[in-house]
Chain A
Amino acid sequence: GDSVIQMQGQVTLSENDFLFINCTYSTTGYPTLFWYVQYSGEGPQLLLQVTTANNKGSSRGFEATYDKGTTSFHLQKTSVQEIDSAVYYCAMRGKANSAGNKLTFGIGTRVLVRP
């Protein structure tokens, strides 16, 4: 079946630091990959969607790409701000989950940005 592995549980940064979060995935065929962000007290919301390997998605200063060769995808931001403090989830719509448009989520990375 489909699976997503997100290793980093928590990342603590200072403002203007570089953020990099990586996930690996397993599926057959060509996946659609996502990054969701969850701010305190809210539900997750879509940050980025990447549908083509080696193409970049970008939103709000964040960039995402995925590498089909290493079955990995990552999220990065050059200079984080305190308002970027949130939980970031990687997610995948793989072939096994395509019926019903289901997503498989990683465990989430809590990012804390200190002023």
Chain B
Amino acid sequence: EAAVTQSPRNKVAVTGGKVTLSCNQTNNHNNMYWYRQDTGHGLRLIHYSYGAGSTEKGDIPDGYKASRPSQENFSLILELATPSQTSVYFCASGDIPGSSYEQYFGPGTRLTVL
């Protein structure tokens, strides 16, 4: 069964520190996405990727970088974490087989920046 996994599931970081969130998918999908989820804002796209070596800015990329070293792995990097980046982060993968545009989500990472 297709799967998207994320690590860590929970993370506490200090302001100004570097945080890396990791995502792995076994769907063999070309596209991968990073979202953050906040009350009153729903899911907002931070970065996405078309495939290994590519990263693209989403709707709210400021303060975040992304890395896609392989088809399976997609990382979100906070070089200088701030309390405003406290949120739940979701990774997703998706492709366009036939007429389905479904995205498959991981279980999420809860990040707290103190």
- Interface SS of chain B: helix, strand, loop or mixed? strand
What is the size, in residues, of chain B's interface with A at 8 Å between Cβ atoms? 29
Is A103 among interface residues, defined by CB-CB distance under 8 A?
yes
Could you count the A-B residue pairs with CB atoms below 8 Å apart for me: how many are there?
56
Q: Are B42 and A106 in contact (CB under 8 A)?
A: yes
Q: What are the residues of chain B within 8 A of A114 when measuring CB–CB?
A: none
Contact A93 B101 (CB under 8 A): yes
List residues of chain A with CB under 8 Å of any chain B CB. Answer: 6, 9, 32, 34, 41-46, 49, 51, 89, 93, 100-103, 105-108
The 5 closest A-B pairs by CB, nearest first: A43-B105, A107-B42, A105-B43, A105-B42, A46-B102
Contact residues of B with A, CB < 8 Å? 4, 31, 33, 35, 40-45, 48, 50, 56, 58, 90, 92, 94-96, 99-108
